[in-house]
Chains A and B, each alone.
Chain A
């Protein structure tokens, strides 16, 4: 297969396993490109991309921008805080105004689940979802799986536990879809208040005990506690959370195997994971960041090749 089955990247659940395979194979080539002395290719020189971020972001926005520039696309970026959205403009109007300036592709982050899907139905441009509320964050899940594949050879058959704030996490949902699609087994682990009800219906099991979860898994993906999305207290204190669900070197060393530690960032050092774990050989956190650029280049390249 040499073409994606979709025209937009709205979520992992809209993809086929072959799409993920194609994205990974393309990202392999781009990873080689971004390690060259000159890290740029001219493929997308006639494509213009708008990055529209209605929510704060540092690494995703930088990663997308870098990926676009490495592909030689023209890039315009804007944050909602500096825009006419504050003056009451609707989402469709905002985007259509940008598209009137001959933009081919939109990368959007929005606080509302389904915002990217809504946009794809109402505007004429290729849409990439860079995170929509607590719904999906497809490029993060793709780069996570790509990093697992890089470290362990393949994703299929591996056991992955996602630890922490599953309730507010779009990374968790996209990861569950992506990992299952590739044949991995997924568990979630965290305080009961931060595990969504009926998550078993997605085919994942819940393991409330961190040690048991770590003993079971090949990979632990440690999520950040999203304080900014919490309107009530979901656990008594950060200290208690860290004691129950934080990974430190002692617990890793006490396991009878070496597991891979992942984190989508930003890390709260000393909460989800301690500094010595984050900086250890078992951690692939910085590989994830590097792979993020390659994966986003692959997604943008493959979607752009479908723009006629």
Chain B
């Protein structure tokens, strides 16, 4: 197994600012917009973006929630490991709102498909956008593309993208890890 750094802490910081600015360009004061972090790994990025928008760009009220997609996945009983659920924290209705999904890595697109179904339990959004830090090109199983992306990466199947956050792993860094066996992750 070998690993190389895809993004350093400084680069992650620049990208987060750019993504926040792109969101402001489209959503202005976020009065009709809801940010949804996809559990588990998307929640770190979503919280960072929300913090930036509030503290650096002075957007006071942002509706923010966390969505767990475990019970909506299409690989129940198909994998080796059982699926573990995480907490969903959405205490509002998304009816007629603009929803932005935030996840760390876009790989096959299956998580996003599950999220598109899961969010319907909370109403019918007027539109849904997708923001990801890493877009793994050429590995999609479904016709899903991000609206905002941090960095596009060409990674093959025995390579894994690992996003580390200060809150969790002690540093903001993105690694490309190459394993010997083919284990598709981040689906």
Contacts and interface: CB of A to CB of B under 8 A. Distances in A.
B184 interface: no
B82 A2 contact: yes
B91 to A, nearest CB: 10
Given A37-B123, A38-B121, A42-B72, A305 B87 contact: no
A39 B120 CA distance: 11
B26 interface: no
Contacts of A3: 82
A210 interface: no
Contacts of A259: none
A41 B72 contact: yes
Q: Majority SS of interface residues in chain B?
A: loop
- Interface size, B (range): 20 to 34
**Chain A CB within 10 A, most for which of B71, B118, B120, B123:** B71
Contact of A37 (B72, B84, B88, B121): B121
B121 A36 contact: yes
B141 interface: no
Interface stretch (A25-33, A108-116, A144-152, A166-174): A25-33
**Chain B CB within 10 A, most for which of A40, A301, A307:** A301
B78 to A, nearest CB: 10
Interface string B105-128: 000000000000110111100000
B85 A37 contact: no
Nearest to A304: B77
A183 B123 CA distance: 42
Interface in A1-42: 2-3, 25-26, 28-29, 32-33, 36-42
B77 A308 contact: yes
B75 to A, nearest CB: 11
A43 interface: yes
A306 B79 CA distance: 11
B122 A37 contact: yes
B71 A42 contact: yes
Contact of B71 (A41, A306, A308): A41
Given A29-B68, A41-B72, A43-B76, A305 B120 contact: no
- Interface size, A (range): 20 to 34
**Chain B CB within 10 A, most for which of A43, A301, A302, A304:** A43
B88 A43 contact: no
Nearest to B120: A38
Contact of A29 (B72, B73, B77, B87): B87
Interface in B63-113: 68, 70-73, 76-77, 81-88, 93
B71 A43 contact: yes
B71 A32 contact: no
Contacts of A46: 77
A32 B120 CA distance: 15
Contacts of B121: 33, 36-41
A208 B122 CA distance: 51
B17 to A, nearest CB: 34
Contacts of A2: 81-84
B97 to A, nearest CB: 14
Given A42-B117, A305-B77, A29 B122 contact: no
A304 B76 CA distance: 9
A289 B73 CA distance: 28
Contacts of B73: 43
Contacts of B83: 2, 305
Contacts of A302: 82
Nearest to A29: B85
A302 B76 CA distance: 11
Contacts of A305: 76-77, 82-83
B121 to A, nearest CB: 4
Contacts of B68: 29
Interface of B: 68, 70-73, 76-77, 81-88, 93, 117-118, 120-123
Given A28-B87, A42-B72, 9 more contacts: A2-B83, A2-B84, A25-B85, A29-B85, A29-B86, A42-B117, A43-B71, A43-B73, A307-B77
Interface of A: 2-3, 25-26, 28-29, 32-33, 36-44, 46, 71, 301-302, 304-308
Q: 4 closest Cβ contacts across the A-B interface? A: A41-B71, A38-B121, A29-B85, A36-B121
